[in-house]
Amino acid sequence: MSAAGAEVAVPESEPVYASYPSLRGRTSFVSGGASGLGAEFVVELAGQGARVFFVDVDAERGRALEQRLRDEGAQVRFAVCDVRDVPALQAAIATAADELGPVRVLVNNAANDHRDRVPDMDVALWDERIAVNVRHHFFAAQAVAPMMRDAGGGSIINLGSISVHIDLMDLPGYITAKAGVEGLTRTLAREYGPWHVRVNCIIPGWIMTEKQLAERVTPEAEASIERNQCLPDKLYPDDVARMVLWLAADDSRRCTAQKWVVDGGWM
Ligand SMILES: NC(=O)c1ccc[n+]([C@@H]2O[C@H](COP(=O)([O-])OP(=O)(O)OC[C@H]3O[C@@H](n4cnc5c(N)ncnc54)[C@H](O)[C@@H]3O)[C@@H](O)[C@H]2O)c1
């Protein structure tokens, strides 16, 4: 192959994906599951036969997704919950366990990447960014870990962000919180390892959700994807969901305390 040939993107074969029998009937809890990546996690977990309880502030989209999946025969339950309200989140987790059985998979996904200029930050805004982007990860994990222990183990999956590892501006609270998610992952993995509760962090690259496509993917942004990724392809929510499935399933049973980067080779 010529040196020039290696730089030419060539067509890819049609993908064939794994399925995970260990997820069948397994109760999973997803925060921020009404849209974006979270909705894809709900769909893919339900597609594996898991029982899925998801929460979001977006009642309309949450109910629509719940109805669609139920019509398809999935065991899915949606509840309106603002993850910044920790007692409400704890109550939702308790309801999930009552209705669907002990939670064995937790996907801490809800977040808000609102842009904030550094001079505009005040204490209330800073606290809000931390509350929506990392605080609930801890309290959700604290709520599910004992039920995972009693059920013989479980998997906690925290959503981090590539933004911690590349140079971005106007996201001081978000990036600080997402860096915290990585530290939280490591310490909780150590705390809960003896209970066979695994704690991992997925670091998505730039994923083409509806919101990103509508609000942020400009021609210049597309050029930066091409420049920065090793792979030429844009990434979509299902690319990250397949990592969620693997980390949720028994197939990854000896993997914990790690970062799993799904970014097309950007970092
Ligand atoms: N899309 C990307 O390119 C990308 C890149 C890196 C990391 N991530 C991370 O992946 C996860 C999902 O990202 P996304 O792009 O789908 O985000 P998104 O903003 O499109 O969706 C987030 C979901 O969380 C919900 N939500 C927001 N605030 C909430 C609250 N207070 N309580 C409950 N629900 C709330 C929203 O309604 C929405 O359904 C996030 O943790 C994000 O930080 C995404």
Tell me, in angstroms, the distance from the centre of ligand 1 to residue 39's CA: 10
Q: Give the binding-site residues of ligand 1, using a 6 Å CB cut-off.
A: 32, 34-38, 56-58, 82-84, 109-113, 132, 159, 161-162, 204, 206-207, 209, 211-212
The answer to whether residue 46 scores a pLDDT higher than 90 is yes
Q: What is the mean pLDDT of residues 155-165?
A: 98
What CATH number does the domain located at 22-205+237-262 have? 3.40.50.720
The answer to whether residue 200 scores a pLDDT higher than 60 is yes
pLDDT of residue 57: 99
* SS3 of residue 138 by DSSP: helix
Question: Which of 209, 224, 262 has the most ligand 1 atoms within 8 A of CB, as the residue to mutate?
Answer: 209
Based on the residue annotation, tell me whether 20 is a catalytic residue of this protein: no
Domain ranges of the chain: 22-205+237-262
Ligand 1 atom nearest to 110, measured from its CA: 24
Of 2-6, 128-132, 138-142, 143-147, which range is least confident? 2-6
Of 30-44, 155-169, 172-186, 213-227, which range is least confident? 213-227
* SS3 of residue 94 by DSSP: helix
Sheet containing strand 197-204, strands side by side: 76-80, 51-56, 27-31, 105-108, 154-159, 197-204, 259-262
5 pLDDT band, cuts 50/70/90, is low
Q: Which of 166, 56, 59, 64 is nearest to 112 (CA)?
A: 56
Per-residue pLDDT tens over the stretch 78-115: 999 999 999 999 999 999 999 999 999 999 999 999 99
Q: CA torsion sign, 55 to 18 to 248 to 201?
A: negative
pLDDT of residue 7: 73
Name 95's Cβ contacts closer than 8 Å, sequence gap at least 6. Answer: 53, 79
Tell me, in angstroms, the distance from the centre of ligand 1 to residue 129's CA: 12
β-strand pairing of 76-80 with 197-204: unpaired
DSSP assignment string, 76-88: EEEEE--TTSHHH
- C-alpha 192, offset from chain centre: 20
Tell me, in angstroms, the distance from the centre of ligand 1 to residue 266's CA: 20
The two structure tokens encoding residue 150: 């009693």
2 pLDDT band, cuts 50/70/90, is very low
Per-residue pLDDT tens over the stretch 123-132: 999 999 999 9
- Count of C-beta atoms within a 10 Å radius of residue 45: 29
Tell me, in angstroms, the distance from the centre of ligand 1 to residue 210's CA: 11
